[in-house]
Amino acid sequence: MKTRSGLVAAVALALVGGGGYAAAATLAADDAPAVPAAVERVHAYYRAGPSAEYDGDSGGIGEVRPLRFVVPEGGSRVGVAELSFHYRTRGAGPFYVSVNIGDGADTNLTVRPDEQFLAPAPDGGTATVRFLPPELAGGDTYAAYPAVNSAFPGGARKNVIRTNKVLLTVDLTPR
């Protein structure tokens, strides 16, 4: 009789344990990875990109036409702005690059990071940088544009940065 009660206990334990395993498997199935949403992409190419030139106490910034885009209706989007370009510098710097995104009221939104440092490149260099804009509302129009800058060098020194072959890409994903 002892063997029979031991066998019944083993079968009961297996059923309870198997039920727990089945319940765990069912719960795990609910944690399946989400399918990524489709990415909507807009881009602009600038043969001659933004520039900045500072000579002593005066200077100027060369701008490019903004990339205008409408965020599709049906909810907000999160995005990534990527900038790939060639650049050449003169002077000690510092040199910076940024992507500005404005809404329909021409208000610049906060983009992270606000700017990124570029190493001096008197013989030319290339860079690819990414920025994270804030959540963009569906149905609204935005304008994005790349910018470069430097600092006033003071004295008789000069800081110059010029960019070309600039590709600005903004990827949008539903929130």
DSSP 22-76: HHHHHHHHHTPPPPPPPPEEEEEEEEEEEEEEEETTEEEEE----EEEEPPSSS-
pLDDT at 77 over 90: yes
Q: Identify the pLDDT of residue 56.
A: 73
What is the per-residue pLDDT for 69?
A: 94
pLDDT at 8 over 60: no
Residue with tokens 């809404």: 103
Residue reference for tokens 């200077």 = 59
pLDDT of residue 105: 66
**141-150: strand order across its sheet:** 67-70, 141-150, 95-102, 116-118
Total count of residues recorded for the chain: 175
Q: Is residue 21's pLDDT more than 50? A: no
pLDDT in tens, 25-75: 444 556 777 666 678 999 999 999 999 999 877 888 999 999 999 999 888
Cα–Cα distance measured from residue 172 to residue 175, given in angstroms and rounded to the nearest whole number: 9
User: Which residues neighbour 121 within 8 Å (Cβ) at sequence distance 6 or greater?
Assistant: 87, 88, 89
27-41: pLDDT as tens digits = 455 677 766 667 899
Contact 49, 166 (CB under 8 A): yes
CA distance 137 to 125: 36
How far the first Cα of the chain sits from its last, in Å, is 64
Residue-level pLDDT at 39: 81
What letter represents residue 108's amino acid?
N
Q: Who wins on pLDDT, 102 or 17? A: 102
The pLDDT value recorded for residue 66 is 94
> 116-161: per-residue pLDDT in tens?
999 999 999 999 999 999 999 999 999 999 999 998 777 668 999 9
Query: So what's the pLDDT on residue 34?
Result: 67
For residue 55, how many other CB atoms are within 10 A of its CB?
15
